[in-house]
Structure 1
């Protein structure tokens, strides 16, 4: 076995472990958001991260329509319709139409939605600080290598999600061949 195969296997094992931890982190993140919301005396908020992230997207880009939300969040329009309908019913967002375009519906936050937006921003500052603290142990060149690794994995996963699994596998094989020559 090529010596680099051992490290590749170890990286794959760590990547799988990271993926499992990321799934668990989503549960912990909603729990952390709930606790932070309570400390900020926020009594009502969506019970899932997608709803909270739609509120965040609207808050950052209001007024914004379904299509733009879907594009910015990499979700389907159908998913955004479902989430936005629920957020509207719960009073987090409001719908409006522009004077020059009565067909298109735009969303903005209500005061209740604005409170969720602000607590979510506080939570992201906490998470970002933690993340940066972890990265402080790496040199600039190590950070560049980590960045390259994540971008390569992201590109491959996007290809697989978009049904280009074969293209992703061929590109990976070609990259591996080029680096070993």
Structure 2
């Protein structure tokens, strides 16, 4: 591969990262708009809280450690978010009768509405993405898949000094 091609790939990758940041803000605004259209007055103010609600909705019953693991967040961060979501009545906490030590979470009716709306919007995005992928051949899709798997693996194993880890093949 030529250095020019590598430079072009890197430049497009950086552009993609910037577009993704901008899109995240647009997605939150879109969520607020859709929520308003469905007469939802109270909505979490950030996407992480919405994603915690989604994680709970998909995995009920789930505890703090389970959410932290599935979302790659610290337990302290999950505690902070879940405390706020309980106060805002999007989720409830409870203990199982046979285990009084662990605290589990479940959605309230209000939380379920947020979960359902998030699922609906996510499904729309997923279908649009599949339609986009349909413009590529199966071989091209396999190459894209391999590239994304190795890029993700390299980013996940990135050293704390910012140098990339060796991709897993």
Q: Fold match, TM over 0.5? A: yes
- Greater share of residues in helix: 1
What 5-or-longer segments of structure 1 have no aligned partner?
Answer: 176-181
| Post-superposition offset of 1:163 | 3.2
Tell me which residue corresponds to 1:163: 160
Instruction: Determine if contact 2:89/2:108 at 8 Å carries over to the other structure.
Output: yes
> Residue 178 of structure 1 corresponds to which residue in structure 2?
none
Mapped to 2, the partners of 1:4 and 1:88 lie a distance apart of 54
Cross-structure match for 1:114: 112
Residue 164 of structure 1 and its aligned partner are, at CA, apart by: 7.9
Deviations 1:55-110, CA, capped at 9 Å, x for gaps: 00000111110000111111111110111011011000000000011111000000
Q: Which residue of 2 aligns with 1:9?
A: 7
1:128 aligned residue = 126
Task: Tell me the secondary structure at the aligned position of residue 150 of structure 1.
Answer: helix
Root mean square deviation, CA, Å: 1.8
Q: How does 1:9-158 map to 2 (within 5 A)?
A: 9-158=7-156
What's the CA shift string for 1:25-71, capped at 9, x where partnerless?
11000011111111222111101100000000000111110000111
Runs of 4+ in 1 over 4 A off after TM superposition: 164-167
Task: Give the number of aligned pairs.
Answer: 169
Q: TM-score, normalized by length of structure 2?
A: 0.94
Instruction: Tell me the CA shift for residue 117 of structure 1.
Output: 0.4
Whether the 8 Å contact between 1:87 and 1:93 is mirrored in structure 2 is yes
Decide whether the 8 Å contact of 1:159 with 1:165 is kept in 2: no
> 2:53, 2:91 within 8 Å by CA — same for their partners in 1?
yes
